[in-house]
Each structure stands twice: as C-alpha cells, then as structure tokens.
Amino acid sequence: MKYLRIALATLATLTFSGVTAPAASADTQSVRAERTCPAEGTISQRWGVNGHRGLDIRNSAGTMIVAARNGTVTYSSNSTTALGYHIIVRHSDGSRTLYAHLRLRYAAVGDTVYTNQLIGEMGSTGNATASHLHFEVIIGSTQVNPQDHYPCR
C-alpha cells in the first residue's frame, strides 16, 4: 500500500504540475493534534527568509512559551550565544524543537515535558532587538520550516 501511495502521488505531481498536496490522512491529523504552536503572537519573520532557520513570533516580554509537543529536554541554559537563553526538546521520532531568546526558563535538562506545558517566558536575550520567540524544528541535523510541522499561523 505504501508503494502504491507513493506511486500515485508521483503520478499526480507529474500529471498536474502545481497540484496541491493531497489531504492529510486521519493518521497525520491525529499526530498533528498532539502538537501546538509554542507561543501566541504575530509572526514577524518566517523560515527561509534571508537564510532564517526558524520562525519568529513576536509578543510582549513574559508571554508564555509552551512545549510544542511531548518530549524530553536535552538543553536548557542561560546561554550567551546569539540564541540567548534557550531550550531544546527532543521528541519520540528523534526530531527536536528549539525555543530561543527566552527571558526565563522553567524546564531543565532531563525533564519530560508535554504539549502545552509552560517551559519559559518570551524575552530578548541573545541576538534579539525586540521580545520574540525564535522557534526552530530540527530533523536530523537540519532545520526545517516549523509551519510545515506545527500549527503556527
């Protein structure tokens, strides 16, 4: 069945260039329901613009930052790098989410965190001119577009 689906998708792409993505399967939808956007606010810079490797969400300092998906915290530090205070969460499929420029962190390395759990507060630590969340999604060692994987609109 898997081969058939791939073959059909390829055929559709070849036959109708510019075809829209097929509707998400029920499986995909249930997985996505376990994910959330980690902060409320205005998207101020999208992934891929001028080499930007994350998604920026702007809001006032102190805005709640929540885990976008269940996982285990693998990094949490008041780092003085460009990312500032930041947290990295590793998920069951090996992908990671990264939350940068935090004002405060509420999760430590080794913590299990759940979707929508408060893990920090928005800030402007590191290389940031205004309070915002820099949100990255990392698969393997590559950042991918967070909006392809998490419901940030």
Q: Which residues bind Zn ion (CB under 5 A)?
A: 54, 56, 134
- Write down the least CB distance from residue 83 to Zn ion, Å: 9
- Write down the least CB distance from residue 11 to Zn ion, Å: 38
- Write down the least CB distance from residue 41 to Zn ion, Å: 13
Amino acid (1-letter code) at residue 121: E
Nearer to Zn ion, 25 or 60 (CB): 60
Nearer to Zn ion, 11 or 82 (CB): 82
Alpha-carbon distance of 41 to 54, in angstroms, equals 15
Nearer to Zn ion, 12 or 144 (CB): 144
Terminal-to-terminal C-alpha distance of the chain = 33
Strand runs (DSSP E) across 3-95, as ranges? 42-45, 55-58, 64-66, 71-77, 85-90
Nearest position to Zn ion, beta carbon: 134
- Write down the least CB distance from residue 134 to Zn ion, Å: 3
Q: Please, how many CA atoms are within 13 Å of residue 8, restricted to the half-sphere of its CB?
A: 7
Nearer to Zn ion, 56 or 121 (CB): 56
Are 119 and 87 in contact by the 8 Å Cβ rule? The answer is: yes
